[in-house]
Each structure stands twice: as C-alpha cells, then as structure tokens.
C-alpha cells in the first residue's frame, strides 16, 4: 500500500516537473477564450453558428489527448520548443557529494570549513546544494563529469575548475553556450575570486573562499616548523 502511494506521489511530481498540468490548464483556458470570441463572431460568419460551435468543441476535445502527450515530451521555453529530458536521480550520476545534503550519508557529511573553496548552486537542478573543491572538477551534462547537471543549457563537458596553490580558476571546455563570470564571457583560463558568479546560461553558481581554512592551515604549518626546530635543539 505504501509503495503504491509512493509511486502515485512520484507520478504527480513528474507531471509537475514536465508542466503537464500547467499546459493542460492553459489549453482549456485558451479553448474557452476562443469559444467566447467565436460566440460573437460565428453569427456574423455563418447562419448555422451552432453547428460550427459544436464542430470546434469536438475538435478541441479530440485534440486534448495530443496536448497531454506533447506536453509530456516537450516544453515551450524562451529559446523555443525543447524536448524534456528524462529525470535522472542524483545518485545515478557520479557527482561529488554535496557538503550540505545530509540525505546521502549524515555520518560522512562535511561542511564548508573543510575546504578553502566551495561553490553553491543558486539556480538550476542543483539549486541550494554546495560542493567543496579539492582538485580538478569537470562540470557538464555527461554522467562521467565530476559535477553532472542535467540541463539542455549545459554541454556534455562544459567547463573545468582547477585548484592550484589555493588559487581557483575556470576554463570553458568548448561549450555550445559558453561560460560567464559576473556576466562576462570566460576566455582561456580565468581566476575566480570570492563571491564571483559562475554562470552557464540561466544556471548560476556562487564561488566562496574560506579564509579561516587558510589561516588554520598556515597556523598548523608554522606549529610543525617550530616543533621540528625544538626537536633539533
């Protein structure tokens, strides 16, 4: 019983994600609005307005299943009609684990203090999740990427973050839509700074630098050096 209820909730969520219910509501409203206008114009066009009205009503009702089917597979966006990608759960990808999502493994969840650099998704499929950068990090649509973003705006291998001597840089990997920092296109390898906005079309990440982590690391290194000198004395 519980399993059936879970499946039902999942199906309703998928309908919302694909905007099927929203599309159907717009279609019904559009048909109603068109018929209201037709109620005024049909008597002028033809003497048998009732017959025309009835044919249109049947046609709209007959086309309704096609609207449902089309809205399941396609969506209308600002860039035109796009095919809706099948939902892929995050655990199916090879994403590095988010540092602020305890649903995966609460015991192994880290926090921002463990990394000098973190990135936080402010929009898109990963909105609200933060990731620590500890080495090269490839961002793209491919499931083989370190950080997979399932979106038509993202290329298979879109961009790469590189950490070198505590400096973080980004490089566009020849993506179709390009990579931007604070609204400006990235050309070649470009350094990132604290609170920079890393953008892939409408998908945006905020870059954060943890200066406390750097101070703690420097303190630990100095303590080690002093300890070693005392030992040698």
- pLDDT, residue 44, reads 73
Structure token digits, residue 86: 């099948």
More confident call, 227 vs 49: 49
> Three-state SS string across the chain, please?
CHHHHHHHHHHHHHHHHCCHHHHHHHHHHHHHHHHHHHHHHHHHHCCCHHHHHHHHHHHHHHHHHHHHHHHHHEEEECCEEEECCCCCCHHHCCCCCCCCCCCCCHHHCCCHHHCCEEEEECCCCCCCCEEEECCCEEEECCCCCCEECCCCCCCCCCEEEEEECCEEEEEECCCCCCCEECCEECCCEEECCCCCEEEECCEEEEEEECHHHHHHHHHHHHHHHHHHHHHHC
Encoded tokens for 15:
């309908």
CA-CA-CA-CA torsion sign (99, 101, 104, 107): positive
Checking if the pLDDT of 217 tops 80, the result is no
Global confidence as pTM? 0.53
Beta partners for 137? 161
User: Is 50 exceeded by the pLDDT of residue 149?
Assistant: yes
Closest by CA position to 30, among listed 85, 80, 76, 79 = 76
Task: Dump pLDDT digits (tens) for 150-192.
Answer: 888 899 999 999 999 999 999 999 999 999 999 999 999 999 9
The pLDDT of residue 130: 94
Percent of the chain exceeding pLDDT 90 equals: 40
Cβ pair 133, 119 in contact under 8 A:
yes
**What CA–CA distance (Å, rounded) separates 6 from 27?**
29
Mean residue pLDDT across the chain: 79
Give the pLDDT of residue 8.
Answer: 53
CA contacts within 13 A on the Cβ side of 88: 15
pLDDT-derived band at 223, boundaries 50, 70, 90: very low
- pLDDT reported for residue 191: 96
Q: 162 — alpha (psi -120 to 50), left (phi > 0) or beta?
A: beta
pLDDT category of residue 39 using cuts at 50, 70 and 90:
confident
Residues whose CB falls within 8 Å of the CB of residue 133, separated by 6 or more in sequence, listed in order: 115, 116, 117, 118, 119, 161, 163, 168
Residue 87 has pLDDT above 80, yes or no: no
Structure confidence by residue, pLDDT tens digits, 73-85: 887 765 567 777 6
Whether 228 has a pLDDT exceeding 60, the answer reads no
10 Å Cβ neighbour count for 75? Answer: 20
Distances (CA, A) of 204 to 107, 130, 153, 218: 29, 12, 11, 32
């Amino acid at each position: 019983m519980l399993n059936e209820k879970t499946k039902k909730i999942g199906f309703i969520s998928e309908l919302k994600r694909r905007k099927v219910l929203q599309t159907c509501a717009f279609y019904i409203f559009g048909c109603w609005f068109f018929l209201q206008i037709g109620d005024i114009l049909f008597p002028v066009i033809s003497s048998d307005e009732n017959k025309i009205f009835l044919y249109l009503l049947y046609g709209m009702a007959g086309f309704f299943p096609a609207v449902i089917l089309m809205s399941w597979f396609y969506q209308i966006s600002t860039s035109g009609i796009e095919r809706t990608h099948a939902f892929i759960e995050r655990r199916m990808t090879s994403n590095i684990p988010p540092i602020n999502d305890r649903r995966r493994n609460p015991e192994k969840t880290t926090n921002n203090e463990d990394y000098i650099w973190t990135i936080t998704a402010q929009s898109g499929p990963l909105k609200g999740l933060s990731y620590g950068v500890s080495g090269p990090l490839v961002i793209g649509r491919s499931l083989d990427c370190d950080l997979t973003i399932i979106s038509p705006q993202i290329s298979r291998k879109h961009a790469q973050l590189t950490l070198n001597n505590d400096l973080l840089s980004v490089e566009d990997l020849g993506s179709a839509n390009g990579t931007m920092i604070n609204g400006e296109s990235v050309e070649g390898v470009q350094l990132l700074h604290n609170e920079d906005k890393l953008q892939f079309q409408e998908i945006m990440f905020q870059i954060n630098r943890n200066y406390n982590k750097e101070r703690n690391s420097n303190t630990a290194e100095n303590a080690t050096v002093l300890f070693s000198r005392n030992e040698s004395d």
